[in-house]
């Protein structure tokens, strides 16, 4: 067996184990969720039925609620700990718990029942919110799994169309799901190994790529079968459960109508299945009131609920194939050998690497994942894959090409558009860096003159703008630009000009930002240039002078080329800083007028923290990252080219 | 050798910090962002409480958090169980915290039914979100009329009187105005908007910026500004302060936070905002910001925390906060106390609060500010008519709200 074959066999083994294990875990998890779902639906039917009767009894005042509750408890051996709470006055109206009865009903509940009260209250206000907003956002039935596996379910009861309190009970799940066998996963690991081992015996070749592609084909085939099988073990028995639930519903309904006749004779149950609902009390309609299962509806519901597992299996398969490719192609082996050979070096960077991992790569990766979801303030409690929207955010950002918009006041630029903001950001960066470099270089040249008196004092003064906190500088500048009382307008009027409303025009407001940031950024460039200038040997100038070079020629052919190695990294850094410079825009013009002077980062901040659209803001930030990334590559290429000329 | 000494000292320092934490009583933490006299008053109140509950085996530690970082710290720390047990903040972020979850504890369970009668009108509404009470009101602030007694003998009661008075005193060339306030700031403008029965949200909350009442209010503002010419251009807070301190603005609208900035040489008086003739004589109703006391949802000492809350809303506390802290407490009974009765500033604020409207505490409110500010700027620059500008702002806010709720089932 040669090295390539061995690598491929290891790849098959590792890939098979990883995707087999993950696929198995996903399937088990999905089946467990299905089990929870079944338990919840059983509990929902119970609690919704009793809540309906409770409302009827309390509304008609025809019977004693406590009798109804006790009788309900007696008839259903899977139900225990029933309690009915009225929100007004926090009164416990009925209970089957001995301690409650001992304390006496119709009394304010004790402190330890605050969570129950809060839940009831949340159901009440949740329903109101759903109605007001015209949507379904807040739960109207809550489930809590107890230590003994019983489901504690709480649902509101309604009197005269208003939620007045809640019914709570513990329900023991009676329907069970089939367990998932790990044999499938084992076959997935073993089968490709043998298949490939057998084939490689026949196929004795030194070439790596043909066996690898064969191994990939075998692996893909095995994964396909494995995934089919896993999906089947999830979906297969579902139709059966639906029938069992329908039978269970029939029993609850029979009991309910019997009890209704005793306790509220005037009340008749509606001829619809209104008890098998989702968490918003919306009927699922998977089976009718007479227990006949609607097969099309069940199939559809099953398809929707399978999507998550399907995606999970795809992901596991992809990972397995990638691992096989990585190991089988020999890259993994090479990587491992480097790691072993340079183990000392790697152990030195480990602490820094772990720091980077936690502080940089994890938030970064999380941000990227977030950008594919529709997370907003209202759904932060949901799992990310439940609010997955794929590329929708990116499509919304990049696909919005309506830069011009027509309104009743005429056609104008839509300042909220991404491309406008990107344009402003680029203009902002280019202007600022140009100004910073030019001013910085000129000042550095001035300070570098030999025999210049009081050089140290000038240098200290010129660095001051940099030393002051950005906040202070930005706010002072904002004051300087005030229309009526600002110093700048005062100077303009001194020379006979008209005062300018700086923050009203797109261009003038842009100028304010440039002025402030120009002021803030030149000291950095000046210091960098000064350092570069001082490292240029005076001999070169002397030689140039002897050759008859003019001052400009000296600057053009000695100073500039010698400054390049110091200046270019500084420019790269400065571009990235300026591109993402939040403070100045935020504090000085705040993106006014009408968001026209917003740059990409301030816009992303606004989306995240004023509009609470976290997913969209994450996508926005990712786009900014890619723009800077592209710039970085481009700049790297450029600067390398210049370095080559220098050599 | 020196290194060893340094290590030993560091170890000692670490130990001495760690030791007091061992074997101590239950300690509750309350966050606030007060400074100066407000802080002094709160510390006094907390000391009183600590003396009272010492025998119950717990104490309260106040922690001042800088205002700029406050809201973000609450958002980040409390849901992860790292925050205080009790915290004080205005109502504007309340809705967002409740929607984010595990931040603010609902209080209905603790409350008696007649609770809202004990507080200044409207303050309890600010603490209520989706029909559930999440905090108890501590103090309130709103804008009111501040006038220069040298220039104005009796403050105007109606906008008619105000405009007539202001016209006489305005001399644009000399930079003198009879009347000045940050009218282009939506927060200040809200008092006029409310006089016309305008509003930002209908229940739901459904944004209704383009209501005819809102447009009417803006048209009236533009009449004062452009036709009557009694208001200065670009009314920034710095400008208002400068004008008032130089005797160049006789009447301004501003809040109690402004009183500290008034020059000592200025003799000023306080009065209610005027009624608006154009709105059929309805009074201007400023937006009130109400600071509430909240219990952090992950707190492990909620019962003790509620004891502290009860102490903070008590008459005794209200008195200290008013006299030492110069606050206007939400506790109603305090305004019957003799020392408070003769305090003209607090009484003026209390009178104005009778006409106040709590600023909405919906999370959707943060989406209103930016479009509303843009609209106000367009209107006062006459780049758009009030109707056009508000229509555009409405569209923008509605779009943001839809997107916020877009991804629910």
What is the distance in angstroms between the Cα of B304 and the nearest Cα belonging to chain A? 13
Contact across the interface for A484 and B131, Cβ inside 8 Å: no
pLDDT at residue A553, rounded to an integer: 87
Q: Say if CB B186 and CB B214 are below 8 A apart.
A: no
- Give Dmax over CA atoms of chain A in angstroms: 119
On chain A, the residues whose CB falls within 8 A of the CB of B100 are 377, 380
Which residue in the set A137, A611, A615 is minimally distant from B408, CB to CB? A137
On chain B, the residues whose CB falls within 8 A of the CB of A304 are none
In degrees, rounded to 5, the angle at the alpha carbon of residue A366 between the alpha carbons of residues A362 and A371 is: 150
Q: Say if CB A120 and CB A87 are below 8 A apart.
A: yes
pLDDT at residue A406, rounded to an integer: 62
A 536-595: CB under 8 A from B: 592-595
Query: From edge to edge, which strands make up the β-sheet containing B177-180?
Result: B177-180, B249-254, B144-148, B268-271
A472 vs B113, higher pLDDT: A472
Query: Residue B407: pLDDT above 60?
Result: no
On chain B, the residues whose CB falls within 8 A of the CB of A375 are 407
pLDDT at residue A533, rounded to an integer: 87
pLDDT at residue A647, rounded to an integer: 44
Q: How far apart are CA B394 and CA B392, in angstroms?
A: 5
Query: Residue B408: pLDDT above 60?
Result: no
What is the distance in angstroms between the Cα of A181 and the nearest Cα belonging to chain B? 34
Q: How far apart are CA A559 and CA A551, in angstroms?
A: 10
Span A610-617, average pLDDT = 88
Tell me whether A347 touches chain B (CB under 8 Å).
Answer: no
Contact across the interface for B377 and A407, Cβ inside 8 Å: no
CB pairs under 8 A between A and B: 119
In degrees, rounded to 5, the angle at the alpha carbon of residue A23 between the alpha carbons of residues A21 and A27 is: 115
On chain B, the residues whose CB falls within 8 A of the CB of A376 are 403-407
Burial of A308 (0-12, 13-18, 19+ CB in 10 A): middle
Model confidence at A507, pLDDT cuts 50, 70, 90, reads: confident
A548 vs B294, higher pLDDT: B294
Other CB atoms within a 10 A radius of the CB of residue A99 amount to 8
On chain B, the residues whose CB falls within 8 A of the CB of A132 are 203-206
What mean pLDDT value characterizes chain A?
Answer: 87
Least confident range of B2-16, B56-70, B73-87, B285-299:
B2-16
B228 is written with which tokens? 């009557």
Question: Which residue of A lies nearest to B242 if distances are taken between CA atoms?
Answer: A485
Report which of A295, A9, A304, A25 is spatially closest to residue A184, judged by C-alpha positions: A25
Return all residues near B188 (Cβ < 8 A) that are at least 6 apart: B143, B181, B182, B253
Tell me whether A89 touches chain B (CB under 8 Å).
Answer: yes
Q: How far apart are CA B151 and CA B178, in angstroms?
A: 9
For tokens 């201007």, the residue is: B284
Query: Residue A8: pLDDT above 90?
Result: no
pLDDT at residue A401, rounded to an integer: 74
Question: Which residue of A lies nearest to B372 if distances are taken between CA atoms?
Answer: A594
Return all residues near B317 (Cβ < 8 A) that are at least 6 apart: B45, B48, B311, B329, B331
The percent of residues in chain A predicted with pLDDT above 70, rounded, is 96
A 451-510: CB under 8 A from B: 479, 482-485, 501, 504
Span B372-400, average pLDDT = 89
pLDDT at residue A248, rounded to an integer: 92
Which residue in the set A133, A280, A381 is minimally distant from B405, CB to CB? A133
Model confidence at A197, pLDDT cuts 50, 70, 90, reads: confident
Q: Say if CB A177 and CB A34 are below 8 A apart.
A: yes
Q: How far apart are CA B282 and CA B343, in angstroms?
A: 27
**Domains in chain A, start-ordered, CATH in brackets?**
3-177+238-328 (3.30.450.20), 423-597 (1.10.3720.10)
Least confident range of A278-287, A422-431, A586-595, B248-257:
A586-595
For the stretch A545-554, pLDDT in tens is 888 888 888 8
On chain B, the residues whose CB falls within 8 A of the CB of A383 are none
Report residue B132: phi and psi, to 5°: -120, 140
Interface test with B, best of A85, A88, A114 (most B CBs within 10 A): A114
Verify cis geometry, omega within 30 degrees of 0, for the bond prior to A18.
no
Contact across the interface for A380 and B100, Cβ inside 8 Å: yes
For tokens 């209080």, the residue is: B107
What number is the ipTM of this complex? 0.85
Tell me whether A156 touches chain B (CB under 8 Å).
Answer: no
pLDDT at residue B23, rounded to an integer: 46
Question: Which residue of B lies nearest to A128 if distances are taken between CA atoms?
Answer: B130
Question: Which residue of A lies nearest to B128 if distances are taken between CA atoms?
Answer: A125
What is the distance in angstroms between the Cα of A105 and the nearest Cα belonging to chain B? 17
Model confidence at A157, pLDDT cuts 50, 70, 90, reads: very high
For the stretch B152-207, pLDDT in tens is 999 999 999 999 999 999 988 888 899 999 999 999 999 999 999 999 999 878 99
SS (H, E, C) B122-163: CHHHHCEECCEECCEEEEEECCEEEEECCCCCCCCCEHHHHH
Q: Say if CB A105 and CB A94 are below 8 A apart.
A: yes
**Domains in chain B, start-ordered, CATH in brackets?**
17-141+289-358 (3.40.190.10), 144-285+362-405 (3.40.190.10)
Helix then strand count (H, E) for chain A reads 23, 7
Query: Residue B22: pLDDT above 50?
Result: no
The percent of residues in chain B predicted with pLDDT above 70, rounded, is 93
Query: Residue B258: pLDDT above 60?
Result: yes
Q: Say if CB A602 and CB A588 are below 8 A apart.
A: no
Length in residues, chain B: 409
Provide the CA A638 distance to its chain's centre, in angstroms: 35
Q: How far apart are CA A26 and CA A180, in angstroms?
A: 10
Q: Say if CB A121 and CB A90 are below 8 A apart.
A: no
For the stretch B99-141, pLDDT in tens is 888 999 999 999 877 778 899 988 999 999 988 999 999 999 9
What is the distance in angstroms between the Cα of A415 and the nearest Cα belonging to chain B? 12
A169 vs B7, higher pLDDT: A169
Other CB atoms within a 10 A radius of the CB of residue A306 amount to 16
On chain B, the residues whose CB falls within 8 A of the CB of A416 are 396
Query: Residue B214: pLDDT above 80?
Result: yes
Length in residues, chain A: 647
For the stretch A362-418, pLDDT in tens is 999 999 999 998 888 888 777 888 788 888 889 888 887 777 666 555 566 777 788
On chain A, the residues whose CB falls within 8 A of the CB of B108 are 117-118, 121
What is the distance in angstroms between the Cα of B139 and the nearest Cα belonging to chain A? 26
What secondary structure letter does DSSP report for A110?
P
Contact across the interface for A135 and B405, Cβ inside 8 Å: yes
Question: Which residue of B lies nearest to A590 if distances are taken between CA atoms?
Answer: B370
Query: Residue B7: pLDDT above 70?
Result: no
Q: How far apart are CA A334 and CA A415, in angstroms?
A: 52
Burial of B118 (0-12, 13-18, 19+ CB in 10 A): middle
Contact across the interface for A484 and B232, Cβ inside 8 Å: yes
Model confidence at A121, pLDDT cuts 50, 70, 90, reads: very high
Which residue in the set B109, B242, B404 is minimally distant from A613, CB to CB? B404
Query: Residue B39: pLDDT above 90?
Result: yes
On chain A, the residues whose CB falls within 8 A of the CB of B115 are none
Which residue in the set B242, B370, B384 is minimally distant from A409, CB to CB? B384
Contact across the interface for A610 and B131, Cβ inside 8 Å: no
What mean pLDDT value characterizes chain B?
Answer: 89
B331 is written with which tokens? 């506790």
Q: How far apart are CA B92 and CA B287, in angstroms?
A: 11
Helix then strand count (H, E) for chain B reads 15, 16
Burial of B80 (0-12, 13-18, 19+ CB in 10 A): exposed
The secondary structure of chain A in percent helix, strand, coil, rounded to multiples of 5, reads 70, 10, 25
On chain A, the residues whose CB falls within 8 A of the CB of B374 are 592-595
> DSSP labels for A211-279?
HHHHHHHHHHHHHHHHHHHHHHHHHTTHHHHHHHHHHHHHHHHHHHHHHHHHH-TT----SS--SSB-T
In the Cβ-directed half-sphere of A100, how many Cα atoms lie within 13 Å? 20
Helical segments of A97-237, H only:
98-103, 114-133, 183-202, 209-235
On chain A, the residues whose CB falls within 8 A of the CB of B392 are 407
A234 is written with which tokens? 């999830």
Interface test with A, best of B99, B112, B399 (most A CBs within 10 A): B99
Least confident range of A341-350, B255-264, B275-284, B342-351:
B255-264
Q: Say if CB A597 and CB A611 are below 8 A apart.
A: no
Helical segments of B204-326, H only:
212-222, 237-245, 302-312, 315-323
Contact across the interface for B409 and A136, Cβ inside 8 Å: yes
């Amino acid at each position: 067996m040669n090295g390539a074959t061995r690598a491929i066999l290891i790849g098959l083994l590792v890939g098979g184990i990883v995707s087999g294990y993950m696929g198995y875990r996903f399937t088990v998890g999905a089946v467990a969720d299905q089990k929870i779902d079944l338990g919840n639906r059983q509990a929902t039917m119970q609690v919704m039925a009793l809540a309906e009767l409770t409302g009827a009894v309390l509304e008609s005042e025809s019977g004693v609620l406590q009798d109804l509750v006790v009788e309900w408890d007696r008839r259903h051996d899977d139900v225990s700990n029933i309690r009915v709470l009225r929100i007004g006055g926090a009164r416990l109206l009925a209970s089957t718990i001995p301690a409650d009865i001992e304390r006496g009903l119709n009394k304010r509940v004790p402190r330890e029942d605050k969570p129950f009260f809060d839940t009831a209250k949340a159901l009440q206000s949740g329903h109101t919110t759903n109605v007001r907003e015209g949507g379904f956002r807040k739960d109207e039935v809550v489930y809590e799994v107890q230590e003994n596996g019983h489901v504690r379910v709480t649902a509101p009861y309604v009197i005269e169309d208003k939620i007045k309190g809640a019914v709570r009970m513990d329900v023991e799940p009676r329907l069970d799901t089939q367990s998932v066998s790990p044999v499938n996963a084992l076959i997935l690991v073993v089968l490709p190994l043998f298949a490939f081992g057998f084939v490689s015996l026949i196929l004795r070749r030194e070439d790596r790529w043909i066996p690898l592609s064969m191994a990939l084909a075998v692996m893909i085939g095995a994964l396909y079968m494995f995934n089919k099988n896993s999906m089947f073990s999830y979906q297969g028995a579902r139709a059966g459960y639906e029938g069992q639930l329908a039978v269970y519903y029939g029993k609850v309904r029979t009991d309910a109508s019997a009890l209704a006749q005793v306790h509220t004779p005037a009340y008749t149950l509606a001829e619809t299945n209104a008890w098998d609902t989702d968490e918003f009390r919306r009927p699922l309609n998977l089976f009718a009131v007479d227990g006949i299962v609607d097969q099309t509806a069940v199939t559809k519901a099953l398809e929707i609920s399978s999507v998550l597992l399907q995606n999970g299996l795809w992901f596991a398969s992809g990972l397995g194939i990638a691992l096989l490719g990585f190991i089988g192609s020999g890259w993994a082996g090479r990587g491992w050998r480097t790691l072993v050979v340079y183990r000392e070096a790697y152990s030195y960077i480990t602490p820094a690497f772990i720091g980077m991992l936690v502080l940089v790569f994890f938030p970064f990766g999380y941000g990227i994942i977030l950008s594919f979801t529709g997370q907003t303030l209202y759904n932060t409690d949901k799992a990310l894959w439940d609010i997955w929207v794929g590329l929708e955010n990116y499509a919304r950002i990049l696909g919005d090409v309506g830069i011009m918009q027509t309104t009743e006041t005429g056609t104008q630029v839509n300042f909220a558009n991404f491309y406008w903001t990107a344009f402003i950001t680029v203009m902002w960066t280019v202007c600022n860096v140009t100004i910073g470099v030019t001013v910085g270089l000129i000042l550095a040249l001035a300070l570098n003159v030999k025999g210049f008196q009081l050089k140290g004092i000038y240098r200290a003064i010129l660095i001051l703008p940099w030393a002051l906190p950005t906040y202070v500088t930005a706010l002072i500048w904002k004051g300087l630009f005030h229309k009526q009382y600002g110093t700048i307008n005062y100077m303009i009027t001194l020379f006979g000009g008209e005062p300018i409303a700086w923050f009203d025009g797109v261009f003038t407001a842009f100028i304010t930002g440039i002025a402030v940031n120009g002021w803030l950024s030149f000291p950095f460039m000046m210091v960098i240039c000064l350092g570069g200038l001082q490292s240029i040997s005076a001999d070169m100038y002397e030689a140039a002078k002897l050759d008859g070079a003019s001052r400009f020629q000296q600057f053009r052919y000695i100073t500039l080329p010698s400054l390049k190695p110091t200046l270019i990294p500084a420019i790269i850094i400065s571009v990235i800083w300026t591109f993402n410079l939040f403070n100045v825009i935020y504090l000085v013009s705040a993106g006014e007028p009408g968001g026209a002077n917003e740059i990409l980062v301030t816009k992303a901040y606004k989306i995240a923290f004023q509009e609470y659209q976290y997913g969209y803001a994450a996508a926005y930030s990712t786009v900014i990252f890619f723009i800077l990334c592209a710039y970085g590559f481009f700049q790297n290429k450029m600067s390398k080219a210049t370095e080559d000329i220098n050599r | 050798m020196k290194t060893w000494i340094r290590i030993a000292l560091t170890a000692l320092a670490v130990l001495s910090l760690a030791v007091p934490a061992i074997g101590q009583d239950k300690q509750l933490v309350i966050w606030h962002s007060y400074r100066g006299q407000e802080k002094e008053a709160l510390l006094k109140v907390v000391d009183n409480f600590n003396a009272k509950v010492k025998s119950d085996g717990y104490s309260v530690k106040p922690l001042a958090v800088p205002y700029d970082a406050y809201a973000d710290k609450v958002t980040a720390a409390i849901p992860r169980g790292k925050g205080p047990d009790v915290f004080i903040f205005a109502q504007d972020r309340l809705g967002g915290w409740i929607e984010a979850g595990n931040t603010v504890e609902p209080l209905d369970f603790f409350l008696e039914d007649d609770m809202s009668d004990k507080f200044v009108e409207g303050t309890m509404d600010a603490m209520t979100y989706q029909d559930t009470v999440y905090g108890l009101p501590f103090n309130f602030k709103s804008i009111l009329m501040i006038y220069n007694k040298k220039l104005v003998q009796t403050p105007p009661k109606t906008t008619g009187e105000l405009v007539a008075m202001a016209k006489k005193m305005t001399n644009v060339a000399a930079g003198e105005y009879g009347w000045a306030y940050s009218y282009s700031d939506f927060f200040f403008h809200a008092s006029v908007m409310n006089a016309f029965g305008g509003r930002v949200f209908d229940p739901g909350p459904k944004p209704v910026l383009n209501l005819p009442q809102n447009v009417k209010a803006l048209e009236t503002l533009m009449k004062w500004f452009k036709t009557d010419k009694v208001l200065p251009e670009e009314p920034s807070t710095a400008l208002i302060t400068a004008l008032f301190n130089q005797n160049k603005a006789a009447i301004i609208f501003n809040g109690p936070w402004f009183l500290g900035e008034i020059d000592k040489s200025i003799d000023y008086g306080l009065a209610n905002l005027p009624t608006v003739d154009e709105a059929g004589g309805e009074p201007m109703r400023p937006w009130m910001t109400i600071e509430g006391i909240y219990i952090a949802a992950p707190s492990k000492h909620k019962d003790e925390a509620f004891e502290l809350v009860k102490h903070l809303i008590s008459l005794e506390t209200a008195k200290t906060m008013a006299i030492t802290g110069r606050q206007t407490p939400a506790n109603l009974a305090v305004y019957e106390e003799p020392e408070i009765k003769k305090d003209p500033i607090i009484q003026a604020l209390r009178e104005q609060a009778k006409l106040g409207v709590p600023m909405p505490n919906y999370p959707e409110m943060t989406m209103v500010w930016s479009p509303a500010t843009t609209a106000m700027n367009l209107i006062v620059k006459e780049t758009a008519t009030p109707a056009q500008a508000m229509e555009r702002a409405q569209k923008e806010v509605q779009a943001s709200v839809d997107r916020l709720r877009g991804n629910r089932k």
